[in-house]
Structure 1
Amino acid sequence: MGRFRYGLWWLDQATAGVRAWPGSVAAGAATVGRELRWATELGARVAVARIDAARPEPWNDGKLLAFVTVVAACALAVALVLGLGVARWAMTASGSLPFAAAGAIAVGLVLLVLTYLVFASRRSGH
């Protein structure tokens, strides 16, 4: 009986590290998850605070012309990609759907940003 108990004790001692490893890995993963959640939450709060504190200033004619030129060039590029994607999709070519989908997402994001810029108003506490 002594040898049997010694064998069980020895087996328990030999496998203690292997049995404890999954628990320590799970605890480490939980800690990393909590830290990532905290960092994401902190980053979101900082971004919201910075957006909220932004004060627009009027642009002069040069800046406005440059901005409108960049917007027009980007709109032309998106229209070109959308046109090619829709044309290939209409011809039922394989692999053309991602072009149309990417163009639709780009247009949607641009419209979302423009909607925010047009309708965002800041109420002053004065």
Structure 2
Amino acid sequence: MGRIRYGLWWLDQATAGARSRARAVTGGAATVGRELRWAVELSARSTLAGIDHARPEPWNDRKLLVFVTVIAVGALAVALVLGVGMAHWAMTSSNAMLFAAAGAVAVGLAFLPLAYLVFASKQRRRLSTVSPSADDR
């Protein structure tokens, strides 16, 4: 056996453990990736099916008042968190961007229920209008 072949054999033997661990890690990561992709696909399908079957009903004044009050209290909490985050960021704190980013996401999430109420009520009005038939004329 020549020196080059012996060197390659020795390198193969020396790295066998690392290669087997790397194969196990990549195999596990691939399995986790497939499971995550399946979960995301299943969640997206069920969400879309739920949205297709959703039929919003008009709320009475009490329900609307409670809902808007909850959103207002949540928006106040978001404003507080966002203000603290922006204050830390203005003081050039190293971990302040987490507060600012969380506040921005929370503001976006606070607007989602309001947007749903606006567009659901518009859609409901459109569905409730009935065009006169030929018999009514």
- TM-score (structure 2 length as normaliser): 0.55
Question: Residue 94 in 1 paired to residue 98 in 2?
Answer: no
1:1-126 aligned at under 5 Å gives the runs: 37-111=37-111, 114-115=114-115, 117-119=117-119, 121=123
The answer to whether the 8 Å contact 2:74/2:110 transfers is no
Identity of aligned residues (%): 70
C-alpha distance in 1, partners of 2:92/2:29?
46
Q: Which has the higher contact order (CA 8 A, sep 6+)?
A: 2
- Deviations along 1:85-122, whole A, 9 cap, x unmatched? 11121122332221111111222333355445534648
C-alpha distance in 2, partners of 1:111/1:70?
12
Aligned length: 103
Change over 3 Å in CA distance of 1:94–1:66 after alignment to 2: same
Change over 3 Å in CA distance of 1:29–1:88 after alignment to 2: closer
What is the CA RMSD across the aligned residues, in angstroms?
3.6
- Deviations along 1:51-73, whole A, 9 cap, x unmatched? 11111111122211211110010
- The gaps in structure 2 that reach 5 residues or longer are 1-22, 131-137
